[in-house]
Structure 1
Amino acid sequence: MKNLGQENTNQEQEPLDFIKKLKPMEAKKSKQQVWEELEAMMERPLPQEAKVRKLSFRKWSVAASFALLVSLSVLAFMRFYTKKVEAIAGKQAFAFLPDGSKVSLNAASSVAYHPFWWSFNREVSLDGEAFFEVKKGEKFTVLSKQGETSVLGTSFNIFARNEDYEVTCVTGKVRVSSIISEEEVVITPNQMAVINESGKLNASLEIDIQKSLDWTADKFIFTQEPLSKVLAEVARRYGVEIKNIDKLNQSYTGYFNKQEDIEPVLNFVCKPFNIEYRKLPSGAYSIQ
């Protein structure tokens, strides 16, 4: 039999052996080194996370709507902003369009166009009489109450007053369209297209274009024109009012230059018909 003391010693040794097996491996660093490293780690500042700001859907929608509104406003301004050039009664004027085209305006005439939209649409509105010298390029259109004139690069004269509409082609080709009858015709140099009060479109061949351009040289040329229209043109180009001319239907044919004073011109026009005129205190003239 084994000794009882020896057996007890063996029983006490077995748990110690088991604990030794579970005991971790001996540390390679001293306790002092470990504490110093821990203290250094604790003193080191923690890394800060980047802050991410989230833009709410409401704020994003407002910003997008504002940007869209600004864009539409700018686009509308470019499309509809209008520049107008006007020649007052008694004076002539010139308009130079964005592409270099030139417009000579007779007295009491005006043109209007959209300068910021010109690259997309070369379109001019005319009231009165003007001579156009158009640069070559895309379609060029002149709009008036009675008709529409389209060209690609040419020179022409348009007379658009009240119910009268006349287009004279000097160079190139011109397409004239009636807004009322929707008729159209293409004319070439020394030809004229006329739209009457009912909108009917007629073309005249081999005309004297100088008659349509006389005003650019301060000349008056009339061939079988109603006297009322002759005096109305004289009044415009001198910048005065001539009263009581509506019922003057006599036909007048004549040629003369513009004088410094209107009265010699009135003598040229009125005396062949035994018509007298009188100057009023206001500066206007009245046909007797």
Structure 2
Amino acid sequence: MKNQNKHNHNEADLEDVLSQFADEERAGAKDIWQKSKKAARREDIVSEKEVDEALENVHFRIEQEKRSRNQGSSISGFILSNARYLVAAVALIILGFGFLFVPKTVTVPNAEIAEIKLPDGSSVELNSGSTLQYNRLFAFTNRDITLNGEAYFSVEEGEDPFIVEANGSATEVTGTEFNVRSWADDPAVETTITVTEGSVQFYPVDNSSKIVSLQAGQTSRLNIEMGSPAQPTASSEEHLAWRDNRLVFQQSPLIVILHDLERSFDVEIELDVEDMEYETLTAYYNQPANVETILEDICTVKGLRFTKTTSGYRIFK
């Protein structure tokens, strides 16, 4: 019913626009309108109110031309004689190119690692289950990235700063290499930055004055409980282990480890034990072949058991 109402409303809009044309011009205007609908990537890119405001603005500018210029001039004559088509052209531009303002999204499936090239020549290696977003005018208007997950960035030098926003944090660079780990399902909603080349600026999105500078070989973190990033410390192998298909956990909460295993092996793991989510564990796996080996180790250390289910595994007492 909702789609039908929307369709009827669009037809009414069409009739409103066509009513501005003489009978002999109406067929051409209708053809422009239909082509503009096909050019749009999605219907909800621009609201009806925005379209109406754009059309009103064109009418206003045309009226200004009428009053300020001699109607006999070639420029004014062209505007006046083609005013109706200018209105239709503006509608075409708004509808047809509105998709440029819809962010481009890249999501890597579980159990996979992918590398993408950005329009400015920078490259991003994305860990399993990660999602990256950037605008379609990237490198023309700005170089802003939004990340949920884990990614290794190799950034090309550029006039505009390269900024990665991740769960309330911002990492700003001009040209360097660094790793960002920031999962929305992390209990602490923590972002960890590790720099391998050059330097970066790390700060909360809503308070850029709380900034920390990191150099190559350093790491820092920021979570929802902290007002500013932690002072930089020396990075360790765990921060980049995923790039070599290794799993390294240093006193990591059990729930964080299980989330990593779910993404790495594309399985569901249910922890059916109370008050165990934040129990910590240290473990190292060099390219593990299967998830069951890791679950066996976890259960042995924590005095638990696990069983296979239709969708994955269940851990229990």
In structure 2, the partner of 1:258 is: 287
Of the candidates 155, 172, 176, which is equivalent to residue 134 of structure 1?
Answer: 155
2:92 counterpart of 1:63: no
Task: Tell me the percent identity.
Answer: 26
Amino acid at match of 1:170: T
Residue 223 of structure 1 aligns to a residue whose secondary structure is strand
Structure 2 vs 1, CA of residues 119 and 55 (structure 1 numbering), >3 Å: closer, same or farther? closer
Shift of 1:56: 8.2
- What is the distance in 2 between the residues matched to 1:74 and 1:172? 41
Matches of residues 205-216 of structure 1 in structure 2 within 5 Å? 205-216=232-243
- What is the distance in 1 between the residues matched to 2:138 and 2:131? 19
Q: TM-score, normalised by structure 1?
A: 0.73
Residue 240 of structure 2 aligns to a residue whose secondary structure is helix
Matches of residues 219-238 of structure 1 in structure 2 within 5 Å? 219-238=246-265
2:174 counterpart of 1:152: yes
Shift of 1:147: 0.9
Q: Contact between 1:105 and 1:130, CA under 8 Å: does it hold in 2?
A: yes
Structure 2 vs 1, CA of residues 69 and 199 (structure 1 numbering), >3 Å: closer, same or farther? farther
Amino acid at match of 1:65: V
Shift of 1:123: 1.5
- What is the distance in 2 between the residues matched to 1:76 and 1:147? 29
Number of matched pairs:
234
Q: TM-score, normalised by structure 2?
A: 0.67
Structure 2 vs 1, CA of residues 271 and 223 (structure 1 numbering), >3 Å: closer, same or farther? same
Matches of residues 43-54 of structure 1 in structure 2 within 5 Å? none
- Structure 2, unmatched stretches of 5+, are 1-75
Q: Deviations over 1:198-257 (max 9, x none)?
A: 342233434234211100101111111112211221121111111026832222112112
In structure 1, the partner of 2:215 is: 188
Higher Cα Rg, which structure: 1
2:192 counterpart of 1:170: no
- Structure 1, unmatched stretches of 5+, are 1-53
- What is the distance in 1 between the residues matched to 2:213 and 2:287? 33
Matches of residues 68-107 of structure 1 in structure 2 within 5 Å? 68-72=90-94, 76-78=98-100, 80-107=101-128
- What is the distance in 2 between the residues matched to 1:96 and 1:278? 41
Bigger CA drift: 56-65 or 153-162? 56-65
Shift of 1:81: 3.5
More helix by share: 2
Residue 116 of structure 1 aligns to a residue whose secondary structure is coil
Amino acid at match of 1:271: T
- What is the distance in 2 between the residues matched to 1:234 and 1:204? 29
- What is the distance in 2 between the residues matched to 1:57 and 1:223? 70
Shift of 1:102: 1.0
Shift of 1:66: 3.5
Matches of residues 4-23 of structure 1 in structure 2 within 5 Å? none
Shift of 1:161: 0.9
- What is the distance in 2 between the residues matched to 1:90 and 1:165? 22
Bigger CA drift: 261-270 or 215-224? 261-270
- What is the distance in 1 between the residues matched to 2:267 and 2:234? 31
2:220 counterpart of 1:198: no
In structure 1, the partner of 2:62 is: none
- What is the distance in 2 between the residues matched to 1:123 and 1:74? 24
Residue 201 of structure 1 aligns to a residue whose secondary structure is coil
In structure 1, the partner of 2:205 is: 179
Structure 2 vs 1, CA of residues 151 and 277 (structure 1 numbering), >3 Å: closer, same or farther? same
Shift of 1:151: 0.5
In structure 1, the partner of 2:41 is: none
Amino acid at match of 1:109: S
In structure 2, the partner of 1:110 is: 131
CA RMSD across the alignment: 2.5
